[in-house]
Structure 1
């Protein structure tokens, strides 16, 4: 079959196509470009011969200093038929040609394709297994057979898998390769509640008894969220994003859809003890950014807040509640292991995606970018 035709599309065309999908990453929506002012955003569409729009992608262009050359990035996308047998020829080849014409020296994408899944019990067993140092060392609960074939086809056509670096198994580098999700589709809320482990259920009751209340906030509450977020960043040893980032995110996402982004805050005796953002696209709901103080941990505000968010997500008709990134490292010394235990306590499953992939259009400039990224503090 002939290659699909690729051209820029309007935000309206882009959103109309996304509305036909059961779910899509919020990073593949037109509004996400407004959150990233250091990048130039463009919506692209793949068209069949009859003119039908068959796929879309949000591309973010990051310029090289003093050169009109760009890194072209499609985070958690594009939104195309990844199972197509002619994926490379019909979909990816015209994309590379177009982006090269726009001055891209390298293309990075994140196929939203699942590779393996581990049940919550399998994750718990892996953490307890002294021979399992990373999640990938543990036997998965299920495989997605097409993912391995897709990875082989990408490698065969010149794409390179971007290996996550550092002790966190890619948790903080690029988009998360490992996430934790609780499936909601077809399940009553009582069944989801039964899926919580005993510690979660005890903590939710403890928070209720202590008088913790969880409320929805607005734009004006982002500074209160940010104060907790900055404390969390210092405690968990990551570099925080600035407050204007979250203000842009709120304005852009809620401007596109009034319920795209929500803010939740857990209160106790006049103190805000925890806060989190929740994102919704189609029937997929994400716990996006979370923050909490070390004060009054005994009243368990985080479990109370998460259960309120899960309850609201279920009411919205979500098919999945996505806890977002988890570490792949199972070592007790890893400071992110506690977060993995917390998320696994909600039931559900750990999921490995295919990860991010690079295509160097200029090997010299791509290598220069790799060296620069490796030397960053």
Structure 2
């Protein structure tokens, strides 16, 4: 079957994703409002019967002084990735975006390749022979994902390599950690937490840590902790205006799209985190904490409250987002992997991000620029 691609309205886009169990929070119309440096468009795939059968949020970033764009579909598009005629889905997208002035198209197929249970991750960390998570035997493998990667290469797509040794690329994470919630009771989920997590949650409760939902007016309190976290973990923080825009844009589309949680103790905010929801998928998005009074374990308390609320919302999965794939003891991100794996879920490898150079000269220039950042 051949498909036609066209621009669609935000309403059509939102209706399509709302009818699905879930799509990435980066593929809903409001995500374009979070990114003012990009121009956002909603794209629709139309089949031979005139039906809307796929959508995509594309972000267009202009090159300085040129009317040429990097076209980016983060964790998308929302199409049938298992389709035998995948080329019929992707070819019209490339043609449409080339006509719009794109010199490169970047996308992130939401396709799982492998999973490692929390026990398998723990064993991999302890194994001196395993340098990366991919070196360890996976608990589950998705054979069709390997075939899909081969098909993309044959079409001319190129996998984006990680931007650093720790496995974190400039785009979206290829490795994440998720806790399955579907069909499970809260008691079962709590039993799956490791002993340290259960002990820390109990310690926070006994100490009197209170986790509450915040509002727009609490974003500065979150931001103060976030800046402290950035200094401690050596990353560049986003401005407060980014989170204020994120709150306003996402909640205008759906009141539950974004939540803010704060862990209070003796009149002090010790930790804060944002939570995003689309359908049956819940993400822990941004986290922040202070070094003060860490002994009362506010981070475990806030995560457990968010997992409980995700369960109450009917979520099928609680997603901790990115993890490192390096198992090097000298890497500070290994502690984050240990923390997330204590939740009893599983590490997940996605297919990663893929580029299609429509103009090879400009694409190479972009690659050179990104490698020097």
Equivalent residue, structure 2, for 1:5: 4
Which of 196, 207, 214 lines up with 2:211 in the alignment?
A: 214
Measure, in 2, the Cα distance between the counterparts of 1:348 and 1:129.
Answer: 20
Instruction: Give the CA RMSD over aligned residues.
Output: 0.6
**Structure 1 residue 279 corresponds to structure 2 residue 276:** yes
Measure, in 1, the Cα distance between the counterparts of 2:222 and 2:165.
Answer: 28
Structure 1, residues 271-330: CA drift from partner, whole Å, max 9, x if none?
A: 000000000000000000000001100000000000000000000000000000000011
Measure, in 2, the Cα distance between the counterparts of 1:93 and 1:263.
Answer: 40
Q: CA deviation at 1:228?
A: 0.4
Equivalent residue, structure 1, for 2:175: 178
**Structure 1 residue 230 corresponds to structure 2 residue 227:** yes
Structure 1, residues 193-222: CA drift from partner, whole Å, max 9, x if none?
A: 000000000000000111100000000000
Measure, in 1, the Cα distance between the counterparts of 2:155 and 2:282.
Answer: 34
Equivalent residue, structure 2, for 1:242: 239
Which of 151, 154, 157 lines up with 2:155 in the alignment?
A: 157
SS at match of 1:30: coil
Equivalent residue, structure 1, for 2:93: 95
User: Within 5 Å, which residues of 2 pair with 1:74-153?
Assistant: 74-88=73-87, 90-153=88-151
Measure, in 2, the Cα distance between the counterparts of 1:213 and 1:337.
Answer: 28
Measure, in 2, the Cα distance between the counterparts of 1:10 and 1:165.
Answer: 34
Contact 2:26 2:74 survives alignment (8 Å): yes
Contact 2:109 2:351 survives alignment (8 Å): yes
**Structure 1 residue 36 corresponds to structure 2 residue 35:** yes
Equivalent residue, structure 1, for 2:51: 52
SS at match of 1:167: coil
Q: CA deviation at 1:375?
A: 1.2
Structure 1, residues 90-136: CA drift from partner, whole Å, max 9, x if none?
A: 10000000000000000000000000000000000000000111100
Measure, in 2, the Cα distance between the counterparts of 1:129 and 1:82.
Answer: 35
Q: CA deviation at 1:167?
A: 2.3
Equivalent residue, structure 2, for 1:199: 196
- How many residues are aligned here? 373
SS at match of 2:78: coil
Gaps of 5+ in 1: none
Q: CA deviation at 1:49?
A: 1.2
What TM-score, normalized by structure 2, do the two folds share?
0.99
Q: CA deviation at 1:173?
A: 2.3
Measure, in 1, the Cα distance between the counterparts of 2:260 and 2:352.
Answer: 28
Measure, in 2, the Cα distance between the counterparts of 1:91 and 1:166.
Answer: 32
SS at match of 1:263: strand
SS at match of 2:287: strand
User: Within 5 Å, which residues of 2 pair with 1:335-350?
Assistant: 335-350=332-347
Measure, in 2, the Cα distance between the counterparts of 1:165 and 1:329.
Answer: 13
Q: CA deviation at 1:165?
A: 2.3
Structure 1, residues 15-41: CA drift from partner, whole Å, max 9, x if none?
A: 000011111111001100100000000
Measure, in 2, the Cα distance between the counterparts of 1:126 and 1:239.
Answer: 30
Gaps of 5+ in 2: none
What TM-score, normalized by structure 1, do the two folds share?
0.98
Measure, in 2, the Cα distance between the counterparts of 1:237 and 1:123.
Answer: 25
Runs (4+) off by over 6 Å: none
Q: CA deviation at 1:168?
A: 1.5
Measure, in 1, the Cα distance between the counterparts of 2:119 and 2:198.
Answer: 17
